[in-house]
Chain A
Amino acid sequence: MDLATALEEGDRERACDDDRIEDAAAFGRAYERHKLPVYRYLRARGLIEDDALDLTAVTFERAFDRRRQFRPRDGGLGGWLFRIARNAAIDQHRRRRTEVQATRGAAPDEGIDLAADPAERDRRELHDAVDALPADQRDAVWLRYAAGLTGREIGQVLGKSEAAVQKQLQRALVTLREALE
């Protein structure tokens, strides 16, 4: 199979799956496609690995329960799933406000020498800069760069227009560029 055919088939299959997530196989494929982005989004929100894995499962369990409510328009499956994931994370944060730990990979006392690991240092700096953004911009950055959502999908999650999301991301990037200079 040549690449163009494979791409076309992949797109068709994804669109078809998004239309039919009531079907077990289609739901399973959607789970396979989205589980890592959902996990990364939850980690970006500051959840430790065990909690992020648990909430990834909770996200898909809730999606499965509500699969008949999904309509494959506009924000699409990505927007719908990440709205569930975001709500689940907010619920957990509310329940366990005092327990949620801010973790961005390994903590300094876990043996990583930041001075000797410039990549890890760079990552920490970026996470700290993102954490300092206004809440809406921070959420848009997580959804864009950790979850890989489009502006339209992010709009569906946050209740904003695609253009408003692009503007928020743009402002966030300007702020981050200045903060990291």
Chain B
Amino acid sequence: MTDMARLEERLAGAFVVAPDAGFDAVDRRIAALVASPAARPGWRSRRSLPFSRRVRLVLAVGVALLAMAGAAVGAMNIVDHFTSSMGGGTRIALDRGVVLDQRQVQGDYAVTLVRVYSDISQVILLVIVERVAGSGPIPGELLRVELRDPSGALLRPGVGSGDANERQYLELIAFTPASGAGEFTLRLGLEGNGPLPWTFRFSLPVPVGTVMTVDRSATNENGTVRLGEVRLSPTEIRATLHIEPIDRRATWWVAYGYFEHDGQRFDVAGRNPDDAAPFDVPIHGYEGTESASGSWTLVVNELVGEGTDAGQIRPQGPWRIPFSVP
């Protein structure tokens, strides 16, 4: 078991707590609530709350499933293990990415560029670091990266995620979208390992997807929401919002809502980055689309502002912004 796995086990154990008094009082409140449907317009069922043996079976098999999953982890390779934990657009990117498996050894470490993917929303890389000599922990997330697209532009690394086993560390890194197709250059280094010693070159096709500027707004008594650029790709829906809440006391903001298109809903959420203006909120979904043409509507249900002094502010929508994609 790795240090990280042991730490995660300790963390999971540290939060295991149950009320000394049990849940009886809460159970009664919730049972009373759901047992009084007449008081609630539109309530369809009049069945009381069944705390049945069947539910206990579900809980029991859930625990068994977790135990089985934990046992299976050791038998999977790190790419399979990581891929199986990802869903939505990230999973599509991993499944459709170009398999490179380019491996280079520098000093005590080997770096393998496993897979690359690009569309109009993002460029995604999957990299494995492996210790091939010496001992000690793998530097983990301390991987430093520099990716240039075919025009030579430096792409900004955004979010990433990772996985590790006893020998290897895997990192998925998402970058801002590339300008086009052609040869990319990736340089990598480990923290404290001097300049970036690993260099990989690879080609990617024209990024697919649709990008358009909407520049429309909606206003209600709680404020205004303006939709700027929208990017619709197979792996992700991204958009930029500028919000003007009436109550502006918060220092950072989250927007919650969804896009509607062709009978489908794409839930989106987003928070203004620490280095951006508080009222510029990038939003994103967890899934993308491959049929962008037609009518779309962005519905922002709620803005949530948080800040040290203001606590939490929740201007309510909906703000509905329709737009059309050719």
Interface residues of A (CB under 8 A from B): 3, 6-7, 9-10, 13-14, 22-25, 27-29, 31-33, 35-36, 39-40, 43-44, 49, 52-53, 56-57, 60-61, 64, 68-69, 71, 73-75, 87, 90-91, 93-94, 105, 122-123, 126-127, 130, 141-142, 145-146, 151-152, 155-156, 158-167, 170-171, 173-174, 176-177, 180
Which of B11, B43, B55, B160: most chain A CB closer than 10 A? B11
**B230 at interface by CB-CB < 8 Å:** no
> Closest approach, in angstroms, between the C-beta of B62 and any C-beta of chain A?
6
Complex CA distance for A129 and B132, rounded to whole angstroms: 33
Q: Contacts of B256 on A, CB cut-off 8 Å?
A: 159
Pick from A28, A69, A91: contact of B50, CB below 8 A: A28
Secondary structure call for the A interface:
helix
Q: Which of B17, B29, B64, B265 contacts A105 (CB 8 A)?
A: B17
B315 in the interface, Cβ–Cβ < 8 Å?
Answer: no
Taking the nearest CB of chain A, how far is it from the CB of B44, in angstroms?
A: 7
Contact B161 A162 (CB under 8 A): yes
A94 contacts B312, C-beta separation under 8 Å? yes
B135 at interface by CB-CB < 8 Å:
no
A24 touches B312 (CB 8 A): no
With A127-B14, A155-B269 already in contact, the answer to whether A25 and B45 are too (CB < 8 A) is yes
Is B1 in the interface zone, CB < 8 Å from A?
no
Q: Which residue of A lies closest to B314 (CB)?
A: A87
Contact A161 B159 (CB under 8 A): yes
B92 CB to closest chain A CB, in angstroms?
Answer: 13
Residues of B within 8 A of A90 (CB): 306, 311-312
A10/B162 in contact, CB under 8 A: no
Contact of A60 with B30 in the complex, beta carbons under 8 Å:
yes
Residues from chain B with Cβ under 8 Å of A161 in the complex? 159, 284, 286
How many Å from the CB of A180 to the closest CB on chain B?
Answer: 7
The answer to whether B271 and A151 touch across the interface, beta carbons within 8 angstroms, is no
Among candidates B7, B8, B15, B17, residue contacting A180 with C-beta atoms closer than 8 Å: B7
Q: Which residues of B contact A174 (CB under 8 A)?
A: 140-141
Closest chain A residue, CB of each to CB of B15: A146
Cβ-defined contact, B26 with A53, below 8 A: yes
Q: Is the CB of B61 within 8 A of A6?
A: yes
Q: Cβ of B159 and Cβ of A167 under 8 Å apart?
A: yes
Q: Confirm or deny: B18 has a beta carbon within 8 angstroms of a beta carbon on chain A.
A: yes
Cβ–Cβ < 8 Å partners of A57 in chain B: 25-26, 29-30
Residue ID in chain B nearest A93 by CB atoms? B311
A156 to chain B, nearest CB (A): 6
Tell me if B99 is interfacial: C-beta within 8 Å of chain A: no
B72 contacts A by Cβ under 8 Å? no
When each residue 246-290 of chain B gets 1 if its CB lies under 8 Å from chain A and 0 otherwise, what string results? 000000001110100000010101110000000000001111000
